[in-house]
Amino acid sequence: MKYNRTSVFHPIQIPFGLTIWSLWFAAMYGSHAVVCGIAPPDPSQGVFNWLNASFGLFTVLVIVLLLWLGRRTWKLAHEPNDLNDRQVFVLKVSSGIHFIAALSTVFVGMQLVFLPPCI
């Protein structure tokens, strides 16, 4: 049976969570460097500044997306359906990787949000 690349059963879904995490990571640290070079926030504000707030919001959105994707694929793998072993494997591995990417986003995001920027 052939699946298109947008199907949750296609093997391309396996690295999708880490791809989202990689894009988030590059965007966060790249934008951090650019903003600190162009318009750094006032150091007297500490961690309570517009840059950390925007990093926090973007990080939370990515975490919610990854958790939603992980839960969605996990539920699909465990619902009563007529999936073959390959489909269940792709769903379970994809789900695990989505959850690992979400956890990685939490740990890296905490450093960005709870440390003063541009130090």
Q: How many domains does the chain have?
A: 1
**Residue 55 domain-assigned?**
no
**Residue 69 domain-assigned?**
no
**Residue 42 domain-assigned?**
no
**Encoding tokens for residue 17?**
């969570």
CA distance 114 to 8: 35
**Residue 112 domain-assigned?**
yes
| Domain, as residue range, for 99 | 78-118
**Residue 108 domain-assigned?**
yes
Tens digit of each residue's pLDDT (9 = 90 or more) over 13-59: 899 999 999 999 999 999 999 999 999 999 898 889 999 999 999 99
**Residue 85, amino acid:** D
Q: Is 115 left (phi over 0), alpha (psi -120 to 50) or beta?
A: beta
**Residue 7 domain-assigned?**
no
For residue 108, pLDDT over 60 is answered with yes
Mean pLDDT taken over the chain: 89
**pTM assigned to the model:** 0.89
For residue 1, pLDDT over 60 is answered with no
Confidence of residue 60 (pLDDT cuts 50, 70, 90): very high
CA distance 14 to 3: 14
In the DSSP assignment, the letter for residue 81 is S
- Residue 113 makes CB contacts below 8 A (sequence gap 6+) with 47, 52, 55, 56, 59
**Residue 114 domain-assigned?**
yes
**Residue 107 domain-assigned?**
yes
